[in-house]
């Protein structure tokens, strides 16, 4: 196979759009956001400023930093402009988020030249027409192309020829592999597995024993450059999720509840927009030292109400805190829903006094909440997302990321 898959990733996208709008920011340390940093310029990153960090911490690291608010329409417009340029080279595009996409150019090379030439031409056109820079990875698989684009940052192109894939992968740290986060990296390090080459050399049976019969072998497949996933122009959503990073070291449980309720509201609304309900709810809790833990629960029947989702997620959050907090505060809360099913009309069940009425979709309370959520959805569609909502969330004063920004950052799902 030829190296004909491109991963196109816009450099410091939100910050770059703000700099384009206001050239006076060029060369300065600045961040996009409010109470929480959403994106930072490369000058600010040199001081350790990162997305998801509280604005106070960002100012401690970089006293001269400038905080600017987001301009949501500018982001959407800039993204559309860049990916319209991509479509001039190939119709086979899988857009992963507002600022990154995979392109399969295997059917376009007879028109525009080899994939590496397409990458250079696409990069030049993007800079000329949008004044934004992209980093591009070129490889024969999505996995390698994405890693290559990360290595290429900022403003570069990295091509991984098929006969040099292991040469490219082997020296990289093991967390370059998709699916290996900080906790898994630490666990592997205890066994002496620190590089991709170390992971590739492990017996498959050993990895299956450590991480399960699917994940263990899958991680090794990636380590040896085995990835058969194709670029898909459409795909059905398999999960719906959202999270809020609020920075600092928060111990206030009432604030945890407000934040988690806001996340549950966003996730349930997206489920209803897709006409889906979810059976498995996973809550992610990140502590003040950036360590994250997750807890999950699978229900007997799927739900899509805000109150039901919040009730399950809150129980998981409190479990995670009681088991793992060790006195630490929180800095992020997130919810991910999986095992999605097409939402179906619910038949009213008999009241047998079983409790958990909000998380059983057939109860009178759950049906009423679903009808209420649908009414709120319609009002927001007509009058805007800030027109109606739960008072504790809207008046909590937590300085969250506006919903418009979150929606832009979500992977674009169709089907």
pLDDT of residue 348: 59
User: Whole-angstrom Cα distance, residue 172 to residue 170?
Assistant: 6
- 3-state class (DSSP) for residue 121: helix
User: Token digits for 375?
Assistant: 């009414």
Angle of helix 215-223 relative to helix 204-211, nearest 10 degrees, comes to 130
User: For residue range 150-185, what is the model confidence (pLDDT) as tens digits?
Assistant: 999 999 999 999 999 999 999 999 998 877 888 888
How far is the C-alpha of 56 from the C-alpha of 36, rounded, in Å?
Answer: 9
pLDDT at 212: 87
Give the pLDDT score at 274. Answer: 85
Strands in 105-165 per DSSP E: 134-139, 157-159
Task: Return the H-helix or E-strand segment holding 368.
Answer: helix 364-383
Residue 131 is given by DSSP the state: S
**Structure confidence at residue 83 (pLDDT):** 92
Predicted pLDDT at 409:
44
pLDDT digits (tens, 9 = 90+) for 373-384: 888 888 887 777
- pLDDT score recorded for residue 414: 31
Residue-level pLDDT at 238:
77
| CA-closest candidate to residue 271, choices 321, 308, 320 | 308
* pLDDT given for residue 9 in this prediction: 96
- Sites in the chain below the pLDDT cut of 50: 352, 354, 399-401, 403-415
What does the alpha-carbon distance between residue 65 and residue 50 come to, in Å, rounded to a whole number? 12
Using alpha carbons, select from 237, 412, 404 the residue that is nearest to residue 336.
Answer: 237
DSSP, residue by residue, 213-228: TTHHHHHHHHHTT---
Q: List the catalytic residues.
A: 100
H-run or E-run covering 198: helix 196-201
What are the φ and ψ backbone dihedral angles of 407, each rounded to 5 degrees?
-65, -35
pTM over 0.75: no
CA atoms within 13 A on the CB side of 235: 15
């Amino acid at each position: 196979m030829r190296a004909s898959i491109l991963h196109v990733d816009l450099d410091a996208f939100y910050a770059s759009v703000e700099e384009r709008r206001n050239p006076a920011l060029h060369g300065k340390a600045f961040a996009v956001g409010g109470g929480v940093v959403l994106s930072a310029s490369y000058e600010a990153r040199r001081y350790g400023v990162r997305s998801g960090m509280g604005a106070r911490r960002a100012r401690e690291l970089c006293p001269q930093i400038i905080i600017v608010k987001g301009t949501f329409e500018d982001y959407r417009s800039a993204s559309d402009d860049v990916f319209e340029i991509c479509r001039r080279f190939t119709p086979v595009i899988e857009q992963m988020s507002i600022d990154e996409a995979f392109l399969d150019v295997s059917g376009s090379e007879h028109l525009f030249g080899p994939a590496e030439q397409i990458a250079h031409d696409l990069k030049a056109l993007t800079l000329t027409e949008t004044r934004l820079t992209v980093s591009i990875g070129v490889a024969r698989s999505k996995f390698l192309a994405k890693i290559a684009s990360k290595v290429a940052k900022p403003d570069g192109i990295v091509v991984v020829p098929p006969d040099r894939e292991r040469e490219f992968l082997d020296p990289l740290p093991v967390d370059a592999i998709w699916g290996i986060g900080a906790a898994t990296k630490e666990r592997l390090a205890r066994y002496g597995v620190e590089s991709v080459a170390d992971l590739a050399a492990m017996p498959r049976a050993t990895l299956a024993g450590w991480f399960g019969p699917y994940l263990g072998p899958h991680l090794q497949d990636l380590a040896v450059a085995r990835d058969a996933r194709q670029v898909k122009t459409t795909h059905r959503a398999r999960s719906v999720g959202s999270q809020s990073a609020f920075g600092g070291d928060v111990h206030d449980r009432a604030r945890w509840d407000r934040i988690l309720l806001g996340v549950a509201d966003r996730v349930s609304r997206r489920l209803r927009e897709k006409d889906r309900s979810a059976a498995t709810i996973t809550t992610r809790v990140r502590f003040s030292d950036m360590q994250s833990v997750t807890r999950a629960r699978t229900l007997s029947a799927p739900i899509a109400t805000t109150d039901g989702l919040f009730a399950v997620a809150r129980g998981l959050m409190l479990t995670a805190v009681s088991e793992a907090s060790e006195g630490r505060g929180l800095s992020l809360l997130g919810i991910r829903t999986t095992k999605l099913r097409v939402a179906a009309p619910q038949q009213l069940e008999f009241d047998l006094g079983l409790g958990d009425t909000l998380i059983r979709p057939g109860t009178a309370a759950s049906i009423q909440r679903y009808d209420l959520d649908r009414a709120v959805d319609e009002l927001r569609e007509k009058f805007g997302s800030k027109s109606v909502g739960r008072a504790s969330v809207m008046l909590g004063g937590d300085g969250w990321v506006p919903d418009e920004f979150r929606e832009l950052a979500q992977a674009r799902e169709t089907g």
